[in-house]
Amino acid sequence: MKALREAAEKLLREKRVSLVIGYEDRKGRPAFFAAKPEDCGRLAYDASCRQNLAAYLGKPEIRARLPVAVVAPPAVLRSIVVLTAESQLPPGQVLALAVDGDSFLGTFDAAGVAELLRAKYSTLAPEPALLERVQGLLQKSPAERAAFWEAEFSKCTRCYACRAACPGCYCSRCIVEKNAPQWISTAALGHGNYTWSVMRAFHQSGRCTLCGACEAACPQGLPLMLLNAVLDREALEEFGSRPGYDPEAKPLIGSWSADDDHSYMR
């Protein structure tokens, strides 16, 4: 914690960044934006920080204040690599203050982040408990699965906190806001809720780093990570896709190979 604060303070004092995006040292660990060196004493990090701060990097308010530094646990480091691969970060304008558990790992630029991930976190895998839940759901009948999601999606209030929390959701105009034609009903009712959550997850396929920020942000507690996890597993098994490691990676959907499996095609 002390090392993190000192590193952040140093960056601001040396004017290498104009803003440090981190977590505040108070209950709930909300996002905290340190603009002055003396603010850095309020920074903190521990396992209860579930927000993915890389989501702020696409916001115009933050873009206006580049260069910035972000407090980043491993999943957020991966998000930074995904955003780099998608040309969403101006080169050299984002630094990562890498943290993991109780330890502060140092300050890294985009290339350094990719290197750190390869060296230290190349075997990051989804939590076994999450995959077990996916497997458990897949073992049920289609009708039971539908009933499960019917009950879950009926709680959705369409606040779009899942979208706001996700660093991958940076479109300036989201499909759900397009109304000519309106593809996704905006009423907080059955089919609109279903289509929204399914498409939100699908738009993250091959890009999601399973940081869990969407599910943590959901005020209704929808199990959104089930959707993300099934796509992540499929992308890995079918295409060997591991988003967030290669800053030069081509987008999974948007590229193709003549050897892709199509055994399900008739």
The residue ranges that bind other proteins (CB under 8 A) are 134, 137-138, 142-150, 153-154, 175, 183-184, 189-191, 193-195, 198-199, 201-202, 205-206, 226-227, 230-231, 234-235, 238-239, 252-258, 260-262, 264-266
What is the DSSP code string of 152-215?
A: HHTT-----HHHHH-TT---SS-GGG-BTTB-S--SSSHHHHHHHHHHHHHHTTTT-----HHH
Shortest Å, Cβ 207 to other proteins: 11
Number of H helices, E strands in the chain: 10, 6
**103/186 with CB nearer other proteins:** 186
**101/190 with CB nearer other proteins:** 190
What separation, in Å, do the N-terminal and C-terminal C-alpha atoms of the chain show? 57
Q: Are 102 and 47 in contact (CB under 8 A)?
A: no
Give the three-class secondary structure for 48.
coil
**36/191 with CB nearer other proteins:** 191
Nearest to 23 by CA among 97, 105, 117, 74: 97
Give the three-class secondary structure for 32.
strand
**160/194 with CB nearer other proteins:** 194
Shortest Å, Cβ 185 to other proteins: 8
**92/136 with CB nearer other proteins:** 136
Shortest Å, Cβ 233 to other proteins: 8
Shortest Å, Cβ 156 to other proteins: 10
Shortest Å, Cβ 255 to other proteins: 8
Q: What is the CA radius of gyration of the chain?
A: 19
